Structure 1
Amino acid sequence: MGRPVRPILSRERICTAALDIVDKEGLAGLSMRKLAGKLGVQVSSLYEHVQTKDDVLHEVANTIMANVDVSGFETGDWRHGVASWARSYRAALAAHPHIVPFLAYGPARREASLRRADAVHGGLVGAGWPPRYATMIGASTKYLVIGSAMSSFAGGFDDDIQVYVDRYPHLAGAHRLPEHADEIDRDSFELALEMFLDGLTALHARVVGNAGDSTKS
């Protein structure tokens, strides 16, 4: 009989398997031993491709962030750029909510994250935003997206009406919220994004206008 064929490993296969574990069991459920078992290899084989568990998670994060679309900034319309970026960013994170706490720490040296951060900053500055404001808009959008992806307002209520009857008269219909959670959370995000963009539009007129006035004087 021939020798058993050794499973062929690659960073892509490792990343796919790791993401599957995280999606099903959360960040705490991922270990190098469990990952090796899922791939049908010895733990030592993993270390030929990745150095640590964090190394694996950075690969996973890169894969997820590669799905975030920042091409809207190429139109020169900063509002469209922020809106399309925020929506695709939220969609990417909502598809894999367990990885969000790891992503929340920042881009570190992840290529996909840094490329997108660079595109966002460049698009905002190119549209007239001062660099400091561009940085703050990028950070504020991240807060909005990650907050939306990490928690569900509607899903946080109990489906037992007795919890709310009598004691909380203004929450009489709260027990119905969980069954509509996806719709409520999506529409709530859209409301927050619209208000955010409206505020930025007014601010842009003031900031760019003031900058123009100062150059004329």
Structure 2
Amino acid sequence: MARPRKPLLSRGRIVAAALALVDTEGLQAVSTRRLAAELGVSGPSLYNHFTTKDEILDAVADTVVAQVDISMFDGRTDWRTALLEWARSYRSALTDHPHIVPFLAQGPGRRPAGLRMADAVFGCMVQAGWPPAQATRIGALMRYFVAGSALGSFARGFVDDATAYDPADYPHLGQAHLLADHQQQVDQGAFETGLTALLDGLALQYARLTRADPP
């Protein structure tokens, strides 16, 4: 039997095409009509694999989350080290695909990779001795922090024009026009500074919690 001239349509091909559109043009670029055109198929053929555009975006979001390393939540790594390594991997995945972050911010819903990640974080915190309610808050806090850090660039928010920041109006922004040239250093450094501060604060809470536990 002769091979088809075009690869058969599959969920994987649809998700890959949708992710490419999100990465290059943003969430608004994704539509079933546009995806069908990109894949060289008729629009209705997509519905053999997905019933709605949101289902496609759910699959795209879960593909990105599946890139996040959660192996550190293995029951052997201490909770602080696990959160540190996970947050770095999580941010790396999101900064590779920043346009999907607003959709991911809605929560894991029924996405398998997202639910596995939430389960791993929560389980690690509870196993370490955090009360379940606080473990839930820690998971939410980390997601807010990581997603926010990946959503935009502080350094790119300043224009590369020294005349834009008149010292008469902005006496402390004399070097602001140089920030864009050091985007990665500024943004990565800000993330690491915030992550350390966040984990230091949690460590203080944890110390108080464990001291309060009866022997």
Is TM > 0.5 for Structure 1 vs Structure 2?
Answer: yes
Matched with 1:52 is 52
Q: Which residue of 2 aligns with 1:139?
A: 140
**What does residue 193 of structure 2 align with?**
191
Residue in 2 aligned with 1:200? 202
- Give the Cα separation in 1 of the matches to 2:137 and 2:5: 53
User: What is the CA RMSD across the aligned residues, in angstroms?
Assistant: 1.5
- 1:73-105 per-residue CA deviation (whole Å, 9 max, x = no partner) reads 212400011011111110000000000000000
Q: How many residues align?
A: 212
Matches within 5 A, 1:67-106: 67-74=67-74, 75-106=76-107
User: Structure 2 counterpart of 1:173, which letter?
Assistant: Q
Unaligned stretches of 5+ residues in structure 1: none
**8 Å CA contact 1:64, 1:92 repeated in 2:** yes
Q: CA deviation at 1:164?
A: 0.5
Shift of 1:6: 5.2
Q: Distance in 2 between matches of 1:139 and 1:3?
A: 49
Q: What's 2:174 paired with?
A: 172
TM-score (norm 2): 0.95
Tell whether 2:22 aligns with 1:22.
Answer: yes
Deviations 1:149-199 (A, max 9, x none): 001111101111111023211000000001111111001000000011111
**Percent identity between the two aligned chains:** 53
Cα shift at 1:7: 4.1
Q: Report if aligned partners of 1:76, 1:126 keep a CA contact under 8 Å in 2.
A: no
Q: Tell which deviates more after alignment, 165-174 or 34-43.
A: 165-174
Measured in 2, the distance between the counterparts of 1:4 and 1:121 equals 47
Q: Distance in 2 between matches of 1:3 and 1:21?
A: 28
Q: 1:112 aligned to 2:113?
A: yes
Task: Report Cα offsets for 1:18-49 as digits up to 9, x if no partner.
Answer: 00001011001111111011101000111111
Counterpart CA distance in 1 for 2:177 and 2:122 is 42
Cα offset for 1:5? 3.6
Tell me the CA shift for residue 4 of structure 1. 7.2
| Separation (CA, whole Å) in 2 of partners of 1:118 and 1:193 | 21
